A and B are shown apart, each in its own frame.
Chain A
Amino acid sequence: MIDLSVHLAGLKLANPTMTCSGTCGYAFEYGDFMDLSQLGAFVTKSVTREERPGNPPARIVETRGGMLNAIGLANVGLKRFLDEKVPQLEKMPCPIVVNVAGHSYDDYVETVAAMNPIACVGSVELNVSCPNVKDGLTFGTNPGRLKELVHEVKKVLPAKPLMVKLSPNVDDVAVTARAAIEGGADVLTLVNTFTAMSIDIHRRRPRLANVTGGLSGPAIKPIAIHMVSRVYRQVAKAAGVPIVGMGGVQTWQDAAEFILAGASAVAIGTALFVDPAAPNKICEGLGEWVSKQGAEKLSDLVGTVQMPGD
């Protein structure tokens, strides 16, 4: 029997498949389409302190091999999340990670603090890298502010591991990764979407109402692989901080690539829209791959890509 289990700084996952925040709703939206009990962990849509309506449409556009979105963190806000969504999450058959976003230190601290006592919440993922809200990027791209934010947030989440989701829209993701770890991040998740744009050449206008959006899907996978590999080798491995890899994961082959690059677990986002059962299939394929590699545990293969000079 192949062991696919993953330990993310105290959060135990039966297998390495997770959902990407914002692609899977708050709880049971995919209940009819996938086996939620077979998920390694479920990551909720971002929650902000105040309810947000989100951006005007058009909010998405498909590009070659990718999807560009500018949803604008449309969400029910902290109060309704606690009232309406947590009772649902309590019934979920897998570990839960709540994604939290904000505009200010106070926003983040208040929302994260509210998650600390909730028993069914296994971990909090800090969204410091949404490219579609006006001041949302500054935390994710400024190492000093990021370190301070993570430090403040960590203080109000003593009971659970803290995940920090890194932006790829920086000069060197290893620098922000180091800042997050120095601030107290227990797990790094990368990458969020890439800031991008698409133009309607007939109307000569941007195709998204927000002008720019975040690019996801298979088009970004090679860049995400590079960033996971870089963060693993430069920072995370030495610090003993596990990585959740994401960015264009559609198949078990993609997931295996992230594992080899240094990810302990993988998250599936855009692919869920096409095939909500993708995490279940990925899990199956990974098991066979691990055994073909002659390993007994998936975790033995994390970061084992052989580089020239290794």
Chain B
Amino acid sequence: MNQRRGQFTGVVCANIPLCREHFKLVMEVRGFPPTKAGQFVQLLCRSTRDLDYVERELEWPSPQRPEVENVDLIAPTALLRRPFSLAGATTDGETATIEVIHRVVGVGTDWLVQLRTGDEVGILGPLGNTFSHPVENQIAILVGGGVGIPPMLYLASELVGKKVIAFCGATTRDLLSLTVTADARTPGIDSIEPLYNIQEFAAHGIPAVISTDDGSYGFRGFVTQSLQEYLDRFRIRGEMAVIYTCGPEVMMKRVADLARARQIPCQVAVERAMACGMGTCQSCCIRVKKPDASAVPLPGQDWCYRLACTDGPVFAGEELLW
């Protein structure tokens, strides 16, 4: 098995709509190294032929060929790659099957939606660090919001047999990228009871509490509200639990605050605009506290920037200054 990260070509196995605007893209990648939850890939959101630089004859049916050049700028294309956290991965011999969940927000993700089974995708990775697993008897609390749910799914698959509860939130049911099991009991709008009603988590024996802002499914309110109620009701504090979170920044900040107030360790997978993903462009910076102000970098200053791509994307909640 290849251990080295690099550039790979994935072949699309499936590109399935999960809910409004969200798609699950499954790709087979020969020689892709082993990965872990928290890591991400940089996807080329345009044809891999763009990277061949081979001079091509225009395909034209008539014998008289048109005199056109530089056709590439006619349609807008995503120049840079786009980072996606892994939603899952399995390996079978030399071939890895990796999953990402993407939401259509621009020209890059719009291109991804058009992909069909058998199409090729340029992949660079795997990149970034990973979540640290809970220690013996520690309850793992997975908190995902919107497009932050995918790394929680991958983490769930790694924590089979451990004590795990998932809290997931979306604006509304239409935007919840999870599958409600057909015969599931519908949770009440004020219920924080963990249920085995979400297929993706139930498959790993993990119960979930779902929140929607408008109450169209599960708890009515933010995922941070259901989480807070749960932590308080069951008096969860300190090292008895570990919270993992990924989602909108305002949500992750709140989750980190809830954890800090209760001395619960918290691991946050941040999202940042990124060009390279490899620590060279320095664009995905995030402010963190320095434990010792006299230490490098920037002695005399009590904070510094870290890069989401190589220092993260997973950071300890208590060190993040955002």
Q: Which residues of B contact A22 (CB under 8 A)?
A: 281-282
In the complex, A217 Cα to B78 Cα: how many Å? 12
Flag if B273 contacts A67 (CB, 8 Å): no
Chain A residue nearest to B77 in the complex (CB):
A65
Q: Which residues of B contact A80 (CB under 8 A)?
A: 296-297
Flag if B282 contacts A62 (CB, 8 Å): no
Contact of B275 among A45, A60, A253, A278 (CB under 8 A): A60
Contact of A273 among B4, B273, B276 (CB under 8 A): B276
Q: Which residues of B contact A240 (CB under 8 A)?
A: none
Label chain B's interface by main secondary structure: loop
Q: Which residues of A contact B275 (CB under 8 A)?
A: 60, 67, 69, 270, 273
In the complex, A218 Cα to B72 Cα: how many Å? 11
**Chain A's nearest CB lies how many Å from the CB of B125?**
10
Flag if A33 contacts B7 (CB, 8 Å): yes
Q: Which residues of B contact A277 (CB under 8 A)?
A: 7
**Chain A's nearest CB lies how many Å from the CB of B64?**
25
Flag if A58 contacts B273 (CB, 8 Å): yes
Does chain B have a CB within 8 A of A234?
Answer: no
| Interface mask (A29-70 → B, CB under 8 Å = 1, otherwise 0) | 110110000000000010000010110011111101111010
Q: Which residues of B contact A164 (CB under 8 A)?
A: none
In the complex, A22 Cα to B283 Cα: how many Å? 11
Flag if B79 contacts A65 (CB, 8 Å): yes
Chain A residue nearest to B286 in the complex (CB):
A57
B51, B281, B296 — which one has the most chain A CB atoms within 10 A of its CB? B281
Contact residue range for chain A? 35 or more
Q: Which residues of B contact A252 (CB under 8 A)?
A: 53
Does chain B have a CB within 8 A of A71?
Answer: yes
| Interface mask (B265-285 → A, CB under 8 Å = 1, otherwise 0) | 000000011111011111111
Using A273-B81, A274-B44 as known contacts, say yes or no to A71 and B4 having CB atoms under 8 A apart.
Answer: no
Q: Which residues of B contact A274 (CB under 8 A)?
A: 44, 51, 79-81
Flag if A23 contacts B280 (CB, 8 Å): yes
Does chain A have a CB within 8 A of B298?
Answer: yes
**Chain B's nearest CB lies how many Å from the CB of A217?**
6
Q: Which residues of B contact A51 (CB under 8 A)?
A: 296-298
| Interface mask (B31-65 → A, CB under 8 Å = 1, otherwise 0) | 00000000000001000000101010000000000
Contact residue range for chain B? 35 or more
Flag if A281 contacts B298 (CB, 8 Å): no
Flag if A30 contacts B278 (CB, 8 Å): yes
**Chain A's nearest CB lies how many Å from the CB of B198?**
33
**Chain B's nearest CB lies how many Å from the CB of A67?**
6
Contact of A57 among B4, B6, B273 (CB under 8 A): B273
| Interface mask (A260-289 → B, CB under 8 Å = 1, otherwise 0) | 000000000010111111100110010000
Does chain B have a CB within 8 A of A76?
Answer: yes
Does chain A have a CB within 8 A of B124?
Answer: yes
Q: Which residues of A contact B73 (CB under 8 A)?
A: 65, 218
Contact of A71 among B55, B272, B283 (CB under 8 A): B283
A64, A65, A274, A275 — which one has the most chain B CB atoms within 10 A of its CB? A274
Interface residues of B, Cβ cutoff 8 Å to A: 4-7, 44, 51, 53, 55, 73, 76, 78-81, 124, 272-276, 278-286, 296-298, 301, 304-305
